[in-house]
Each structure stands twice: as C-alpha cells, then as structure tokens.
Chain A
Amino acid sequence: MRFLLVEDNARLASVIVDRLGLDGHAVDHASDLDTARTSIRAADYDLILLDIMLPDGDGRDFLAEHRKAKKRTPVIVLTARSEVSDRVGLLDLGADDYITKPFDFSELEARCRAVLRRQGGTAANQKTFAGAVLDSAAGTIQTDGEPDFLRNRELRLLEVFFGAPGQIFSKTHLMDRLFSFSDDVSENAIEVYVGRIRKKLTGSTVRIETVRGLGYRMIGKE
C-alpha cells in the first residue's frame, strides 16, 4: 500500500514512516500543503494521513479541496486539537477518521486498517505463501477449504510473518508490533499468540518455526 503523510513535525513524521514501513507500506512524506498537492498529482495513494496545522495553511482546506475534486482516496486526520470541538467539523469535511496526537502507533495502524477495510478489499490485501492465503481486509487465513477468521492480534502477527517469509523475528520485535505501550504484558505473551496461529495453520504447508535464542520465522514445509 502506498501512503502519503502530510506532517510538518519532522521527528514525528520519520517515526510514522518507519513504523508503517514495517507493515510493508511505502510512505511518502510531505512537510507542507504545497508538497502534498504536488505529490497527489504525481502519484496514486491508497491512504492520506493529514496533519491539521501546517506551515503554509490549514489541513482542513486541503481536505475540502480533495473532496471537491471527487478524489476517493481515504483521509485520516492527525489532530492535536481538542477532540470535542473538532470532531464534527472533520467528519463533515470528508475525513474518514481522525486520530489525536500523541497517538499509539498500534492505534494508527488499527485505524488505517479499518479505513482501508471499509474501502473494500483488493488483491493488494491478499498475500500468498506456500499455498496459504492471508486476506488482511477480510481478516482471514485460507489454507485448504473454508477461510478461517483471525482475531486482531493473530492477523497482525501473521501479517508480520507473511511480509517477510523466512526472516527471523525476535520476541521483542514481535511484542512491539503486537502490543501498544499501555498493554502491560510479559514477553511470554507472544508465545500464546504464536501457539494460536500454529493451530490455525494446522494441516497446511505453512509452519512457524522457533529459532532457539533468536525468535520465530515462517517457513514452508517441504
């Protein structure tokens, strides 16, 4: 998926770009409205993340222009203003969702996922490995026969593995991807979720392998 991030705070922007990159999204960064306008003319984006207060104008004006031009690209607004007062205006202007700064990246990911899901599933939402099909939009894994519904964390864990088959992911890395900072969980919690997806993959040719002392990786059975 290709995202456009319009955000003037460079540090925040670089973290968002990195974090969404981990999920396999390509994120272009525009630090002002002018750059953003050039970018949306040059490329097609699947999602726009839009800050409100930008050095050369108000993000809401950009949003209004965007909707006036009948562009369907979903927009999630990043706002630092009070939720109570801005909520109505933002949704009326055509924002698909909004998130209040500072936010947890898990929540941002969740909101991106929800908005994209509402847009409708495309082939881009499906990843195939060794005969198993993971559908992020539908939230299912299909090995043989009927698709199996996944819980949120199971889906996200599988997305990590499907994003880079064969790569070893440390427990710490998987923790960071699955849990937000407000979750007070031990590293062993990851074992629970690995156990669950192993159960869903039973009977398929896909296997989650424990690499002692290093972490986990996804491989295909010969």
Chain B
Amino acid sequence: MSGVVVKTSIRRRLVRQLALVAAILSLAFFLIVRVVAERAAEDTQDNILAASATAIADALYSDGGQIALELPYSAISMLGAISQDRVFYRVAVGGETVTGYGDLPGVARVGNRRDNIFSTFEYRGEDVRAVTLFRSVSAGNLPSDVMVTVAQTQLGLAAISSRITSIATAIAAGFFLAAIALSLFAAQSALAPLDRVTQSVARRGPNDLRPVSSDAPSELVPLVEALNNLIARLRMSLSRSEDFIAEAAHRVRTPLATVRAQAEITHRRLNKPEHRKAIREMIRAIDESSRSAGQLLDHAMVTFRADSLEHAPLDLVELLRETCERLAPTAELKDIAINTDLPDVPFDFIGDSVLLQGALRNILDNAIKYSPEDSEITVQASKNGDYVLSVRDQGRGFADTDIQSLTSRFSRGSNVSDIVGSGLGLTIADEVARSHGGRLEITENTEGPGACVSLVLPQS
C-alpha cells in the first residue's frame, strides 16, 4: 500500500485491549481464589484448635481442691484430622503449669474474657498457630482461673496453601488463554464487515468506477458513502479531463485551420517569389504549432490513460495493418511506399487499442517524416518470445544522436533541425510501450541507411 503509513491495526488494538482485560481479570481471580481458600483453611484450623481447646477445658475437674485433667484423646486426634502437624498444649492454673509444655507461651488475660484468643508465633523454631481460652473451674470452694492453650505447627496449612495457589494459577492461566482465544475470535468477527468492504473495493479493476454497494454495518456506512462520493468525483474528473483534452485540441486547431486557409488563399494570389516564400514559411510555422499542440495533447492523453489503462483483447497485426492503411496517403504524397511484411496469424494481446494505435501512428509518422522522396518503409511484425512490431526507413537515421535520449520529452535528433517536429512522437510511443510492460527499441537500420524503431510487447 503505497503512501499509507500504517500506524495502528484495529485488530491488534482490539486483541491487545481484550487481552489486557483478560489478564487483569485472571489476576484478580487468582488473588481472590487464593485469599478465600487460605482464609477458609485457616478458619478450619482455628475452629479445630478452638474445639480442641474447649474439649480440654471441658475435661478439667476438681480433685480434692486440685485442678486435674484427664486429657481427652479426641481433643488431640481431631487436630490430626487436618494434617500431621505437631501439636502442643498447656494447661495452667494461675501461671502454674498443670500439664503439657510449660514453656508454651500463653497470653495475658484481659478483663474477664471467656472467648478464644488466637495468635501466631514462633515456637521451637517453627511457626505455630495457637488458641488460648480461660475458664473458671471450682477447686474446692474457690473458683480458680484455668488457662488452656493449644498450638499446632502450620506445615499442613502451607501445603494446602501451595496446592491452592497452584490450582488457582492453573485456573487463571486457563481462563486467560480462553479469553485470548475468544478475543481473537471477537476481533475477527467484528472486523469481518470491514474486510468485506475492503475486498469489494480491492477486487475491482482499474476502470471499475461503480459505487461500492456491498452491505455494510451502520458504523461503516459513512466510510462507504465517503468512498462512493470520492469515486463519483473521480469518475467525473476523469471524463472531464478527457473532454478537456479533446476540447483544448479543438480550440487550438480551429483558428489555426482558418489562418492556414487564409494564408493559402494569399499564397495563390501572390506572384513574387519572396512573398510566396514568406507565406510558405508562415504556413510551415502554423503546421509546426498545430503538430506540437496535437502531440502535446496526445501526450497528455497517453499519460492520463496510462493510469487507467483499458484492458481489452486485440490483434496487434490488425492494429499495425490499420495504421499502415491510415498513413498510406501521407506516405504517397512523398512517393514513399510502405511495404508490409505481416503474418497471417493474429498476435493476441491485451491492452489499450487507442494508446497502441497512437504509438504505432507516431512511429510510422516519424518514419515518413524523415524519409526521403521515392523511398521505402518496411513494416514488420514478428515473434521472438516478445511481439516485435518494427518500422524500418531509409531516412537519415540518427547520426551521432544519443539514441537513448530520443525517448525523453522534446528531445530530437541532432540532424533534423530542418524538419518540423516537436520531439514528442517517440516519447509517446515509449510511454505507451512501457505502460503495457514493453519497451521501444531504436537502432540504426542494419540493411542500409536509416533507422529501425520497434515496439516490443510481452506475449501475455
């Protein structure tokens, strides 16, 4: 795509944004799952710790004024239900350990609390979760405050946590991938109408200036309408340009024709050689300007049409034959014979017949112009991989002129200053050749004096 700077792709942007949203959602999902699951696991441990501590507290009894404990097996075994973590406990009355691990830190009783107090700390080199509760137990007559602490290491919890993390990661990653796939699909289907419109514009030939009519979604309607307006304007401007060129030619040539006619009448009435010579020079100047104007307009037409080349099947041999017939009367005026050596089989070619005929006419016209009286021009058509349409004359050739420069605009041979010419003829032929993927070959005539100009076109 020439001239279009590709800055962004809607598809890429759409996918990128959808992926970003999917990533954020996946991350949030991951974090939430982990937090909730870990909290649930912790709560479970806390509840069991609390149940265990309560069971121990409920098993306390007074034995002759002494607080005694028959440690219920279930109180410890229920902790084993979660994991194989080590369990520590301590029952203390007024700071004195009754049973259990004496160095297990308790908590200071605040006020008259009876609820469970949870804490996490390091004990014997490991993180433990502990619950402490206080009870008043009647020992003898006096109620005494009993503190029950149950602690458990957190290895099991860590294992659960890491399992939860990996599951959450897997789910989040799966969700992310699914979201990416969905967003690709969504971008594809959202952009499908745009692709359809693009296709219907891109598929058309260079001369197809019909409005775009493929069904478009409402968002694309303004774009399609703008495109259709542009096409309509282009179509109008193209037909105006072609009309303008034809009209310009008419405007330039009509007054020239009148002046020339007038000059010719005058020429016939005059007798003095110097007067007649002056008028002849005037007429030649008129012819020169008319010819230049014509070729400039031809050139404009060629340049213009080359952009919107018409592709129609045609026969190059027939085209060449027509051109020879058309120019035969002009050649006859100088007693120049046009010998044609054309094959009987057609040379099928796809191209713009108006332009190709223009090119051939300019080549042949050039040959006639630079040929001497009583000479011959040979027109040949042959195949050598390419189609070669050549015109060979017995004129003065190109002398020392740089042959390659002849196809550039307004460039003429170094030996033709005495002949009317604009220097556009071969330029036109060259441009037509190149717009059809061919080339113009200019060489000296190998069979005597003169030049050989060939239009070489690819065999399609």
Residues of chain A at the chain B interface (Cβ within 8 Å): 9, 11-12, 14-16, 18-19, 53, 80-88, 97, 100-107, 110-111, 113-114, 151-153, 172, 176, 180-184
Instruction: Check: B264 CB closer than 8 A to any chain A CB.
Output: yes
Which residues from chain A contact B247 at a C-beta distance below 8 Å?
81
Give bound CA distance, A176 to B265, whole Å. Answer: 11
- CB-based nearest A residue for B267: A176
**Contact call A87/B250, Cβ cutoff below 8 A:** no
Which residues from chain B contact A104 at a C-beta distance below 8 Å?
287
**Contact call A182/B284, Cβ cutoff below 8 A:** yes
**Contact call A100/B253, Cβ cutoff below 8 A:** yes
Which residues from chain B contact A83 at a C-beta distance below 8 Å?
294, 298, 358, 361
Which residues from chain A contact B374 at a C-beta distance below 8 Å?
151
- CB-based nearest B residue for A52: B250
**Contact call A180/B297, Cβ cutoff below 8 A:** no
Give bound CA distance, A184 to B284, whole Å. Answer: 10
Which residues from chain A contact B267 at a C-beta distance below 8 Å?
176
**Contact call B301/A84, Cβ cutoff below 8 A:** yes
**Contact call A102/B257, Cβ cutoff below 8 A:** yes
Output the least CB separation between A171 and chain B (Å).
11
Contact of A9 among B257, B301, B334, B335 (CB under 8 A): B257
Most buried by A among B249, B256, B280, B328: B249
Top 6 nearest A-B pairs (CB, nearest first) are: A102-B257, A110-B329, A101-B257, A80-B253, A15-B261, A82-B249
Tell me the dominant secondary structure on chain A's binding face.
Answer: helix
Contact of A86 among B246, B290, B326, B353 (CB under 8 A): B246
Contact of A102 among B248, B256, B276 (CB under 8 A): B256
Which residues from chain A contact B230 at a C-beta distance below 8 Å?
none
- CB-based nearest B residue for A176: B268
Within 8 A of A (CB), among B220-260: 242, 245-250, 253-254, 256-260
Output the least CB separation between B306 and chain A (Å).
12
**Contact call B294/A152, Cβ cutoff below 8 A:** no
Give bound CA distance, A153 to B354, whole Å. Answer: 33
**Contact call A182/B287, Cβ cutoff below 8 A:** yes
Given contacts A84-B305, A153-B335, 14 further A-B contacts (CB under 8 A): A11-B258, A15-B261, A15-B262, A80-B249, A84-B355, A85-B246, A85-B354, A100-B294, A101-B257, A114-B328, A152-B333, A172-B271, A181-B280, A182-B420
Most buried by A among B332, B358, B418: B332
Give bound CA distance, A86 to B246, whole Å. Answer: 8
Which residues from chain B contact A101 at a C-beta distance below 8 Å?
253-254, 256-257, 290
Q: Give a binary string over B298-330; 1 marks a CB under 8 Å from any A CB, 0 the rest.
A: 100110010000000000000000000010111
Between-chain CB contacts (< 8 Å), 11 pairs: A9-B254, A9-B261, A11-B262, A19-B264, A85-B246, A102-B290, A105-B264, A107-B329, A107-B330, A114-B328, A151-B335
Which residues from chain B contact A16 at a C-beta distance below 8 Å?
261
Known: A100-B294, A102-B286, A105-B264. A183 touches B334 (CB 8 A): yes
Give bound CA distance, A184 to B373, whole Å. Answer: 11
Which residues from chain A contact B292 at a C-beta distance below 8 Å?
none
- CB-based nearest B residue for A81: B246
- CB-based nearest B residue for A86: B246
Give bound CA distance, A152 to B286, whole Å. Answer: 26
Instruction: Check: B75 CB closer than 8 A to any chain A CB.
Output: no
Give bound CA distance, A151 to B246, whole Å. Answer: 37
**Contact call B265/A15, Cβ cutoff below 8 A:** yes
Give bound CA distance, A107 to B287, whole Å. Answer: 13
**Contact call B261/A12, Cβ cutoff below 8 A:** yes
Instruction: Check: B283 CB closer than 8 A to any chain A CB.
Output: yes
